[in-house]
Structure 1
Amino acid sequence: MRRFFSTTALGGISAGIALTAFGGFAHAQETVDDGVVGEIVVTAQKRSQNVQDVPMAVQVIGGDQLEAAAVREFTDLTKVAPSLIVRPADNPVNASVSIRGVGTFAFGVGVEPSVAVVVDDVPIAFQARAFADLADVERIEVLRGPQSTLYGKSASAGLINIVTPGPTRELTGKVSALATTDSEVGLGASISGPITDTLRFRSSNSYTSFEGNIDNLYNGEKVNGRETFATRNKLVWDPTDKFSATLAVDYLKGDTTAGRPFIALSPDARLRGNAAWTPAVFAPGVTVGSNNSSVVNNVTTGSDYEDFAQSLKLTYDLGFATLISVTANDRYKMLDAFDQDESALSVNNYANGLFSADQFSQEIRLVSNGSNRLRYTLGAFHADVNYRRYFFRGPAFSQANWDATSGSNENSVFGQLEYDVVEGTTLIGGLRLGREKIGYTFRDLRAGPAAAWADGASDDYATYRVGVQHKLADDVMVFATWATGHKGQSYDLTTGFNQARADLGPVRPESSEDIQVGVRSRFLDRRVTLNATVFNTEYEDFQAQGAELLPDGTQNFRLTNVGAIRTRGIEVESTARLVDGLTLSGSVAYLDAEITQFAGAQCWPGQTAAQGCTGSPARQNLAGERPPQAPKWKLSAGAEYVRPLVGDLEGVANVAANYQSSVNYSLSQDPLTVQKGYAVVNLSVGVRDKARGYQVTAFVNNLFDEGYYTNLVNNYGAYGNQLAVQAFLPRDFKRYGGIRASMTF
């Protein structure tokens, strides 16, 4: 890790952000007239609203801001959303999303996330579908805190709402291209317009290819790359001014490669404890250190995935309200492989598997027209989700061979009422009642036909939201809300599943309770927007996955209930346009997070009794410790300057910066999996015509070449109980530049 900001620098950044109050990349769907920042329209409450009127903590990131901050795939959202962390893994199935320090990192089949993802009104049961391409996105809304009342049981910590553009009434099109100094190529094309007077279409297609930024010394190839093709297609039929039907068909196909370079390795390390397998043997040619970007793998680690999704949205204007139906179907499948010994040794231990997810969902809701003192959203939701996972590991050691399925069936009803008791003051009340049935099968193929299990369980749940909002002035609104969240129970279907685990039944549901107080304001003739939220959230039976060390040195992952977690803090977001042509933005999030109860936690690899690892089997007490993926500070800041040049041309300059304080990637508090604080700055300069018919931009990402890691793994046990730390390198681990160009007609 190179040139991290000092504590003094952090203080300066924090003070500067707080004093100038420039926070939040909130430019989606906004208009600017004579320096005045206009409305930002969001659908955070399942109705179109000005974001300044929404009584919840929501950050809005528009398409232009995603481009300026080099956000091209889901994991990049960490750069622009201070309360959000996306933690990658060897393949997208095992990645995780956290909001305010709370998320789910689990290998188990069918384990729900704590942060829900919705794409164009369709909930995505399996997050990996969203982890690929973010081309042709209109805006992304990050909703912090429990959202279970309106969005269901997979939103106990928050929600990410992705909105893509709809068909236009006039023929339009756009082509774009990107090329970088490290061999990334991106191409995109979209076309939209009318087919008849009542039928419109939009087709958006993109292709990206990146070889990777890690050298595999075994064959001279690059890894840690990706190749993705995505197509999104919409048809909108509106035969009358009251009825509309939107058919969406999306297809995604891609592959990834991965590698985990050693950044710390003892010279006494021996792979699997074998005296002959020294570092010179299992990692020949690798120079271990914080800048290492080389591996030696004779089995390609990565994944091949494919997704096919369809949805049909019907809306009918009843006058007093709008009736909406959303029907969706999605099928995701993936093949994955991993070099288990991560070397070129002839032992050639590897892992591979097959994963598939099938989802059907149906939602019906009635949304009032919003013209009366009483406004409401009432609905019902049904979902069937089925997963299958086949996994093999071996043949030399850490052997596993199993096949598992997991399924859930959910039915729920929900509603939210808003009532203006007096002018400017609104009371809010919401409730969701749901019932879920889950079931599983598990076959241990190594142990024979008798090693097979199957079972099921059901769970009834209720979540609610109450609150009040009051307008102090036309452009100043304050609110207070109290909300609960729920995440469904799950079976721990991973390697090592046996009769003892089967007898334990499912891991208990996770619940959350959240209090938020906030202010939404605009001043200086609406040239400045300033929003702030204070929150306190408590989680009971938080579901988390920890690692335990088996006698053969293998790390085994177990899903368990952490007794309780508490998170609290403050988030500030603002946008300012004080002079013509210059827009400033940024945000800051302070998070105080603590595990308040977890007495039987796994120890970290190599932890001693003196360090708190005691008993048989050895365990530690994590009460008072900080949960993983929960940095104390996260900040984002940006500036855009537009200046007329000659004729219809104008120059555009963008700078985007983000800072994150130190974070531990392990629940066990492993001191070797701590990422120190770091800051990354991106810079771009371009030229475009005033109508934005075309634009050419040169950019540099990670301008100051600030190295950091998005995940760290301590493999102490696999290397003879010696120091062995491996890292996941982000796309911008090293500085790179490029050019992007687009043409719109």
Structure 2
Amino acid sequence: MALSVFRIGSSVAALGAALCAAPLLAAAPDQVAPTDPAGTPAPAVGPAAPEPATIGDIVVTANKRAENVQKVPLAVSVLSPAQLQTSGATQFQDLGRVSPSLVVRPAEQPVNSNVSLRGVGTFAFGIGVESSVAVLVDEVPLAFSARAFTDLPDVERIEVLRGPQSTLYGKSASAGLINIITRNPTDTFRLHANAMATTDSEYGANFSASGPISDTVGYVVSAAYSKWDGNVKNLFNGKDTNGREAFNTRAKIRWEPTSDISLTLSGNYVNGNTTVARPFVNVSPTALFRNTAGLTLPVVMPGVTISRSNQNISNNLDSRTRYEGYGGNFRAEIGLGEMTLTSITSYDNFHLYDYLDQDDTSYSGTLGNNNQIGEFKEHMVTQEVRLQSPASKPFRYTVGVYYADVNFARPFVRGPYFSLANWNATSESRQIAGFAQADWEFLPQLTATGGVRVQNEKVEYTYRDNLAVAPAPSFFSGNAEDTAVTWKASLRYEVTPDLMFFGTYATGYKGQTYDLTTGFNANRAAAGPIKPERSRDMELGARMQFFERRLTANLTLFNTDYDNLQAQSIETLADGTSNYRLTNVGGLNTKGIELETTARLGSDLNLTGSVTYLDAKYTSFPVAQCYPLQTVATGCVAAVPATPTTPAVPAYQNLTGTRAVQAPEWKFAFSADYSPSLGGNLKGIAQLNWQYQSDVQYAARDPELFQAGYHIVNIGLGVRDADRRWEIVGFINNLFDQQYFPALVNTAGNFGNQIATQAILPRDFRRYGGVRLALNF
């Protein structure tokens, strides 16, 4: 693929200015090797990592072995707990604040939330539809991204790998992955404790204790609790909503009977709930609920004033979710001479109940009280075994096998007055894969990397429509099987120990599936599974460090093509009829530039910054669903009724050449941490975090689902012990009180096809303050 694929037009000039300024504006404590308060390098997950030699070394396990991130020919961001705190990120959905290529769009419940990298994600509600961005905890994949949508306690670091990662991580990482690394047992007793309280009644606390039980056995145990009532008021019953409550706990026991054997058993448990609110932010004054005379807004939503700053709803059902999950894994690392054999066995179980006031009103008449109630049930078993050669050899390799069995179930009911649904569905996916990756330094400082994965997957489903009547069948089942090969190749040249260039070509794969949602019928069953989505990615990068590694600048250019893109569209079925569903719509191209810089300016000032320019467009999407209220003048091709010889053609729009949804053109984050001496053993704390995102479309071309560009500034002031054994920080998040929406919903169909737009409000929709306390011993 020629370098011309990276021509991005005049915007490169704009980014050029950012490249020149970024080293002055950027860098951070998260780019220094992760350490505990005493300054000892934190243990890495996976094979033992060498201790960082100098300032600026960061150990990652992106290639399933411990490596200095500056030597890895991948686009990897490393997020530390300190950086998360400075940015105000306490939940998984906040990670987009500190990783500019990452966007997390919330929904009315976590399972419907979406994670995207470089403008690529999965926008679907089916239980068998996997994400394009994999989420792992300690290298163990989560079946549901929703499993991660809670607090981030006991985090040592978070690695965000951008671009297809299917060769080492499988079919759920076609756009990238997020690997959350938690703390490991330590050789001496360590205690970390944190507490937080805010001016708008958020409270949280967590702790992590680790140490030795004997000379060969160590432990770590952690727990976290958080509660926030929310920032939306339900005028129907006076309750606060759009909040959350969660309890997490995790424990690990590590036994090292000999120097060549390490056995780690870990377990986790989570229990929580969320309250759901979708305030109306724009409604036509003449809109009528269900287009029924007399059902005006004051009648169905008494007391609610519609505006872009509205924080009130009127619902006669408490929309909410409650969830519980538990699991664990057993990790064995065995030295076989110079080789290391690693086995990871995991089990996970997750159960979520969701309740939604589907009409979003408090009207109690015949058309009101339309609600939906459902469950998500998941359990997963995985097994990975891999063999690795020593990292110090010119030729080093990793070979392994992987097995996963994932089961989902979804009972769902909606009604009783409109949009009726009552069904039960199950989905199972069984995957077997073998993978290998090798690095060969065939010339001094010049290393070639190659990898391949062969995976076989079988998917099965059942679907029972409890509303169907004879003669239509009410029960469907089916299965499909597919074998796929993904691979990658890269070349890197280390000009000096502090300057490396690389080029990488990788392919990605996202497995086939069935769209098990309301409306599944005989036609959908006959159409078979949705085809696998495939990607081809090319990257060029430079990894640079200067001034004794006190300044780091990492630059990546990328260009990725997606074929058989899985997205919501209109599908022509086996009998010639059409409907709306998740299907293969065509293609998407995403290309851009990513810059990440860090600087340590003396012992007191750390800066970090990152910026992404993104150009993500549909290369083929000829038949897309029209958005509500779209007309022929705005691009909706009119429907064609059926004739005796031709089937009906529903209305559609052509999105080929348009910008992808949830893909802002520009996104950056900048943080500063200044700790001047106050005399004695005290240091001051001054923290600044600035986030910017350009405009984004949440549904193609829909003007009601458009979010203009915005920026958020967070600040913190405090004091700490010079050895960081304690610190207290007062903070203000969203200092300039900027309002924005991370998700919007068009519900014009409920209001006589007149404008009716709802929003999900972010945690920092309004400015708030608080205090954080940390203890480290």
TM-score of the two chains, using structure 2 as the length reference:
0.91
Out of 280, 286, 295, the position equivalent to 2:313 is: 295
| Cα pair 1:28 1:139 within 8 Å, conserved | no
- Distance change (3 Å), C-alpha of 1:725 and 1:24: farther
- The yes-or-no answer on 1:27 pairing with 2:31 is yes
| Cα pair 1:693 1:743 within 8 Å, conserved | yes
What's the secondary structure of 1:281's corresponding residue?
A: helix
Deviations 1:313-360 (A, max 9, x none): 000011322100000000000110000111111131100011101100
Equivalence map 1:345-364=2 (5 Å): 345-346=363-364, 347-364=368-385
Name the structure 1 match of 2:704: 672
- The yes-or-no answer on 1:633 pairing with 2:666 is yes
C-alpha separation in 1, matches of 2:17 and 2:244: 39
C-alpha separation in 2, matches of 1:371 and 1:176: 39
Equivalence map 1:84-483=2 (5 Å): 84-346=102-364, 347-448=368-469, 450-483=473-506
Name the structure 2 match of 1:566: 589
1:653 deviates by 1.1
Deviations 1:176-225 (A, max 9, x none): 21100000000112211111111111110000000000011111111000
- The yes-or-no answer on 1:726 pairing with 2:758 is yes
- Distance change (3 Å), C-alpha of 1:354 and 1:14: farther
C-alpha separation in 2, matches of 1:279 and 1:81: 40
Equivalence map 1:487-502=2 (5 Å): 487-502=510-525
- Distance change (3 Å), C-alpha of 1:692 and 1:411: same
Q: CA RMSD in A?
A: 1.8
What's the secondary structure of 1:47's corresponding residue?
A: coil
| Cα pair 1:23 1:530 within 8 Å, conserved | no
Deviations 1:607-660 (A, max 9, x none): 111222114311111101011110000000011101111211111111011100
Name the structure 1 match of 2:6: none
- Distance change (3 Å), C-alpha of 1:660 and 1:521: same
What's the secondary structure of 1:535's corresponding residue?
A: strand
Structure 2 alignment gaps of length 5 or more: 1-12, 41-52, 572-578, 640-648
- The yes-or-no answer on 1:646 pairing with 2:679 is yes
- Distance change (3 Å), C-alpha of 1:247 and 1:241: same
Deviations 1:536-579 (A, max 9, x none): 0000011123599xxxxxxx972121200000000000101233
Name the structure 2 match of 1:4: none
C-alpha separation in 1, matches of 2:109 and 2:246: 14
After the TM superposition, which of the residue ranges 431-440 and 686-695 deviates more from structure 2?
A: 686-695
Name the structure 2 match of 1:623: 656
- The yes-or-no answer on 1:503 pairing with 2:535 is no
Deviations 1:217-236 (A, max 9, x none): 11111100000000011000
1:669 deviates by 2.3
1:255 deviates by 0.1
Out of 65, 88, 103, the position equivalent to 1:47 is: 65
C-alpha separation in 1, matches of 2:494 and 2:395: 17
| Cα pair 1:24 1:59 within 8 Å, conserved | no
| Cα pair 2:488 2:506 within 8 Å, conserved | yes
Deviations 1:43-71 (A, max 9, x none): 01000001100001001001111111111
1:30 deviates by 4.5
What's the secondary structure of 1:239's corresponding residue?
A: strand
1:482 deviates by 0.3
What's the secondary structure of 1:66's corresponding residue?
A: helix
| Cα pair 2:56 2:552 within 8 Å, conserved | no
| Cα pair 2:27 2:672 within 8 Å, conserved | no
C-alpha separation in 1, matches of 2:769 and 2:655: 43
- The yes-or-no answer on 1:706 pairing with 2:738 is yes
After the TM superposition, which of the residue ranges 639-648 and 78-87 deviates more from structure 2?
A: 639-648
- Distance change (3 Å), C-alpha of 1:204 and 1:314: same
C-alpha separation in 2, matches of 1:568 and 1:159: 18
Name the structure 2 match of 1:659: 692
TM-score of the two chains, using structure 1 as the length reference:
0.95
| Cα pair 1:433 1:462 within 8 Å, conserved | yes
- Distance change (3 Å), C-alpha of 1:651 and 1:23: closer
C-alpha separation in 1, matches of 2:775 and 2:353: 37
- Distance change (3 Å), C-alpha of 1:332 and 1:634: same
Equivalence map 1:522-537=2 (5 Å): 522-537=545-560
Name the structure 1 match of 2:599: 576
After the TM superposition, which of the residue ranges 537-546 and 239-248 deviates more from structure 2?
A: 537-546
Out of 718, 723, 729, the position equivalent to 1:686 is: 718
After the TM superposition, which of the residue ranges 271-280 and 43-52 deviates more from structure 2?
A: 271-280
Name the structure 2 match of 1:553: none
C-alpha separation in 2, matches of 1:431 and 1:84: 26
1:28 deviates by 5.8
C-alpha separation in 1, matches of 2:441 and 2:158: 29
After the TM superposition, which of the residue ranges 36-45 and 176-185 deviates more from structure 2?
A: 36-45
| Cα pair 2:410 2:426 within 8 Å, conserved | yes
| Cα pair 1:29 1:62 within 8 Å, conserved | no
What's the secondary structure of 2:526's corresponding residue?
A: helix
Name the structure 2 match of 1:552: none
Q: Which amino acid aligns with 1:89?
A: A
What's the secondary structure of 1:102's corresponding residue?
A: coil
Deviations 1:376-397 (A, max 9, x none): 1111000000000000000111
C-alpha separation in 1, matches of 2:713 and 2:683: 24
The alignment covers a number of residue pairs equal to 727
| Cα pair 1:534 1:571 within 8 Å, conserved | yes
Deviations 1:480-523 (A, max 9, x none): 00000000011010001111111111111100000000000101
- Distance change (3 Å), C-alpha of 1:18 and 1:557: farther
